[in-house]
Amino acid sequence: MPSGEWNLGHDPFFVDWIAQGVKTSPGFLGSSSLHEAILTGSAEAVSECLNTHDSKVIDQNVLMQSSVHLAIWRPQHLQSLMKAGFDVNARDWGGRTPLMYAAVAGLADVAISLFDAGADPSLKDNMYARHDFIRYAGLSNHFHVVIEVLKFARQSPKFPAAYVSSLLDNAIINWAGQRWTGKDWLKNRSESFEILLKLGANPEIRFSHRWEWQKETDNTLLHRIASGFEFDILVASGFKGFAHSNSSGASGLMKIVPLSDPLLIEKCIRRGCSVAHHDFLGRTPLHVSAEELWESFVPLRREVWPWCDRERTLHSLRVLLHEGSDPGKGDNCRCACSPKGCTADSILLKEYKRDWESTVHPAYPLAQYILSLEWIQILREVKGLGYARASVLRMLRLVAFEEMELTHTCCQKPLGRRKEPWTTLDDDEVDEIMDEEREFIEELEIYMMSVENVADDGLGDLLLQKLEKLVAKRGAEYVVRPDYGQQPFEQNRHRDTLMARYNSINRYAVWAKSQGNSNEGDPGQHVSRCEQRMMWVLKFKEMMEIGVCLPVGTDFGMEELVFDVF
């Protein structure tokens, strides 16, 4: 039996264990003669017990399991029990019905038989989460059971259309809310989505969903799709709510951006999703994409998000900027580090909060250094030199702010991918802090006035100097993780891609070289980017005084290249 999200074992309801027990100890766990016949006997034995069965006797064992519960894995006896009038909605000690057992077991035919005999799929267990049949099927990775039951209900004349419609709505809400697992999880998820909509599920349905730490209401199916294929399915169903935002003000596009699928982002924008939309914190899709880059180095684990995935996120940034995202748009934060609110570029330089729960990756400062430069290059390519210069000025302000050790009063996002709430200060607290640090803030303003007139070349050099100090301040111990003699990449069979074993400056160099050899797009542009990235690597090596082994084929006249932020 697949374990699913709950990681259930092979015998989650102890039925096999009870069957073994009654073989050696009759009456094991309060089993009746009928229970024993169902678990170990023949059809004749079950029929004989049914003929002598006293309906006044409570049909339960110690776990409050009825004969119908025990017969789920022995369908040859189930029909006899239902014909004899046994309760198909009986509950065990946890309030679970036989239909829930069939869902966990993945037995679609059994579930259909129970449903046809009157089993109620809307019943919930009496445990804390109050799950129903559909939720049990999803948690145990057996959503196909729900699909088959719904197909049967749709075709059967005994079930009213309104009743079937309510089941379909419940099913698609559970589809949207469950965490799909297994090797073919995306394929199974997408196929189930397509079938539910074809059966008549409402594509415009609104529902609640919990994203790790926060429960949001008024979500659409667009908020929960996971691929371009699912997007196409949703569009084909007649979905119109592309401009709809949920209870947090988040649009569907803002939930899609973390997928780092540039083509899907383009599709959403073409259908009416706005890149200028902001949630109730003032965050735009560009902020979300920048957060995705920032978080890519936060978790400490053996397989950290590889650079090939970051390239998709970088390309997503390009798409958002090309479609009109304003890189200078700030959120609702009030802080001297970003007078107009935190922008996407300031997010990339935010310091990771290290505490007793810290899982920061050793290459964390590398991420801030490299990705900040990548961001500036993207701005220059897509929006022009003026936007890139403005971004450098915002970064310089943030770095100078931290050098002066001023207090951040802006939204401080903790602990990366846990998606916890942004901690905010009351306006009175912000005013008090700014008043206490007013003299230093005035010094910061004077400094920014002095750098605003610096030429582009000098401004780029100044940013590099500041980044060097920032990286050094946050710890050289977070730069390079040793390879321990392992190959730099290993195959990830689930995602059909190569995963970097350890992300370090060496790994970035390997990835940059592979991008330079890419056959997609303009080859000359790929080579130019590769050369620029190699120069960043060499500069980072000088900054941190570490050894860097450049990949074969990258010695293309390094001495002739000029290192330049712009």
User: Which is nearest to 408 in space by CA: 342, 331, 474?
Assistant: 342
Tell me what pLDDT residue 520 has.
57
Query: Which structure tokens are listed for 453?
Result: 């007139």
The pLDDT of residue 2 is above 50: no
Each residue's pLDDT tens digit, 322-361: 999 999 999 998 999 999 999 998 888 876 554 434 444 4
Tell me what pLDDT residue 348 has.
84
Tell me what pLDDT residue 525 has.
66
User: Which is nearest to 481 in space by CA: 297, 296, 291, 353?
Assistant: 297
The pLDDT of residue 555 is above 50: no
Give the helix/strand (H/E) hosting 318.
helix 307-322
Rounded Cα gap, residues 299 and 302, in angstroms: 9
| Least reliable range by pLDDT among 87-91, 386-390, 485-489 | 485-489
pLDDT band at 296 (very low <50, low <70, confident <90, very high): low
* Distances, alpha carbon 229 to alpha carbons 182, 205, 213, 431, 562, in Å: 19, 19, 28, 49, 44
- Mean pLDDT, the chain, as a whole number? 83
The pLDDT of residue 561 is above 90: no
Task: Between 55 and 465, name the one with better pLDDT.
Answer: 465
User: Which is nearest to 514 in space by CA: 553, 564, 557, 560?
Assistant: 553
Query: What burial class does residue 434 get, using C-beta atoms within 10 Å of its C-beta: 0-12 exposed, 13-18 middle, 19+ buried?
Result: middle
Rounded Cα gap, residues 17 and 8, in angstroms: 15
Phi-psi category of residue 331: left, alpha or beta, with phi > 0 → left and psi -120 to 50 → alpha: beta
Tell me what pLDDT residue 522 has.
60
Each residue's pLDDT tens digit, 442-491: 999 999 999 998 888 888 888 888 887 777 776 544 444 444 344 545 55
Tell me what pLDDT residue 303 has.
42
Query: Which structure tokens are listed for 333?
Result: 């934060």
Each residue's pLDDT tens digit, 5-42: 555 678 889 999 999 999 999 999 999 999 999 999 88
The pLDDT of residue 537 is above 60: yes
The pLDDT of residue 229 is above 70: yes
User: Which is nearest to 181 in space by CA: 146, 140, 145, 213?
Assistant: 140
The pLDDT of residue 511 is above 80: no
Task: Between 112 and 509, name the one with better pLDDT.
Answer: 112
The pLDDT of residue 88 is above 60: yes
User: Which is nearest to 331 in space by CA: 378, 368, 277, 369?
Assistant: 277
User: Which is nearest to 143 in space by CA: 133, 153, 152?
Assistant: 133
Q: SS3 breakdown of the chain: % helix, strand, coil, rounded to 5?
A: 55, 5, 40
Each residue's pLDDT tens digit, 143-175: 999 999 999 999 999 999 999 999 999 999 999
The pLDDT of residue 112 is above 50: yes
User: CATH homologous superfamily for 1-153?
Assistant: Ankyrin repeat-containing domain (1.25.40.20)
Rounded Cα gap, residues 474 and 495, in angstroms: 33
Tell me what pLDDT residue 9 has.
72
- Mean pLDDT across the stretch 546-554? 47
- Mean pLDDT across the stretch 382-402? 93
Rounded Cα gap, residues 312 and 317, in angstroms: 9
Each residue's pLDDT tens digit, 246-260: 999 999 999 999 999
Rounded Cα gap, residues 22 and 403, in angstroms: 74
Most confident residue range from 185-189, 196-200, 211-215, 348-352: 196-200
The pLDDT of residue 219 is above 50: yes
Q: Count other Cβ atoms within 10 Å, centred on residue 335.
A: 23
Q: At what angle do helices 143-155 and 161-177 cross, to 10 degrees?
A: 160
* Distances, alpha carbon 153 to alpha carbons 26, 51, 139, 159, 286, in Å: 40, 33, 22, 6, 44
* Distances, alpha carbon 243 to alpha carbons 34, 60, 133, 268, 326, in Å: 59, 53, 33, 10, 19
Tell me what pLDDT residue 284 has.
96
User: Which is nearest to 400 in space by CA: 446, 369, 362, 331?
Assistant: 446
pLDDT band at 63 (very low <50, low <70, confident <90, very high): very high
The pLDDT of residue 298 is above 80: no
- Mean pLDDT across the stretch 305-323? 84
Q: Where in the chain is the domain with CATH 1.25.40.20?
A: 1-153
